[in-house]
Amino acid sequence: MSSTSRLPMLIEPESLQAHLADSAVLIVDLCDPASYAAGHIPGAVHLAYSELIRVKPPAMGLLPTEDYLSQVFSRLGLTPEQQVVAYDEEGNGRAGRLLWTLAALGHERLSMLNGGIHAWDAVGGALEAQFRHPERRAYQARFANPEAIADRDYILSRLGQPDLALLDTRTTAEYTGADVRAVRGGHIPGAVNLNWTDAMDSQRQLRFQPDPVLREMLEIRGVTPDKEVIVYCQTHHRSAHTYWVLRHLGYSRLRGYPGAWSEWGNDPALPIET
């Protein structure tokens, strides 16, 4: 890969195979440790999902500090110029959280492996069991792209604005308040619901649904590219996947809310709908 070229934001397994030996590409595996040890994409380094989140109860999925992320990505051997390709074994929610975090840091070369490790297996992709210990680098994490992040105060300031779309990616039961996972059930006022798994094709190893299907799902909910879209779930795990769906589709005004329902639903001062 030349210094000027980059991989697509959503890469197919067949395309990734040509870049396994490319030092300009860092493949990051966010599978469970046992899955990684049993077999992973050759050259992939392992990252535990827990290293991408900061827990401050009741908010369970906040962004870590810049210093902490600097240590994590330095240990992975990441450099600012590298292309990151992320995948996992559970629909790419963890992979999406990594890519969203890097997007917030202003890291530009980012890709999700469509379908994750299951799609890789389905096309006969090679696996290795060797644990990779990457050479440590000095990665300085700075939130250079704060426009990728929404906090509760930002959302409060935008509620009711006609150019805002709030997209709740939890289950319908969570959205309506039938399934309560905080002090209060329900959703942020004005939010529309799209269960994150509806964007996945269960017949194709949980790859993204075809673009026209995804666009229709979003547009019938009023989530259109002309609006600013804020995605959330319970901890910005599921909604990080949806963030990448929207990035892939070309949505340009896009934020993830890491506080998510674990923060909003547990704060009696914040408005809700059911």
Q: What is the set of domains in the chain, with CATH numbers?
A: 10-122 (3.40.250.10), 150-264 (3.40.250.10)
Strand, helix or coil at 82?
Answer: coil
Q: Percent of the chain beyond pLDDT 70? A: 98
Please list the active-site residues.
Answer: 233
In DSSP terms, which residues pair with 62 in a beta bridge? 54
Mean pLDDT taken over the chain: 96
Which tens digit of pLDDT belongs to each residue from 105-128? 999 999 999 999 999 999 999 999
Beta bridge partners of 24: none
Q: Report DSSP state, residue 274.
A: -
2 has a pLDDT exceeding 60: no
Mean pLDDT of 191-198: 98
Q: What is the pTM of this model?
A: 0.97
Average pLDDT over residues 234-251: 98
Average pLDDT over residues 213-223: 98
The predicted structure's pLDDT at residue 1: 43
Greatest alpha-carbon pair distance for the chain in Å reads 53
CA distance 251 to 161: 18
DSSP secondary-structure letter at 182? S
Residue 49 reports pLDDT greater than 70:
yes
3-state secondary structure of 75: helix
pLDDT category, 6, cuts 50, 70, 90? confident
Does residue 177 carry a pLDDT above 60?
yes
Region 188-206 average pLDDT: 98
Question: If pLDDT is split at 50, 70 and 90, which confidence band does 3 have?
Answer: very low
At residue 272, the pLDDT reads 98
Give the model's pLDDT for residue 5: 59
Express as a percent the part of the chain with pLDDT over 90.
97
Q: Judge contact between 6 and 109, C-beta under 8 A.
A: yes
b (16+ CB within 10 A) / e for 202-236: eeebbbbbeeeebbeebeeeebebebbbbbbbbbb
What phi and psi values does residue 87 have, to the nearest 5 degrees? -155, 165
> In sequence order, what DSSP letters do the residues of 91-147 get, joined into one string?
SSHHHHHHHHHHHHTT---EEEETTHHHHHHHTT---B-PPP-PPP---------GG
Would you state the pLDDT for residue 4? 42
| Short-list 142, 172, 161, 141, CA closest to 253 | 161
**Element spanning 54, H or E:** strand 54-56
Contact 61, 236 (CB under 8 A): yes
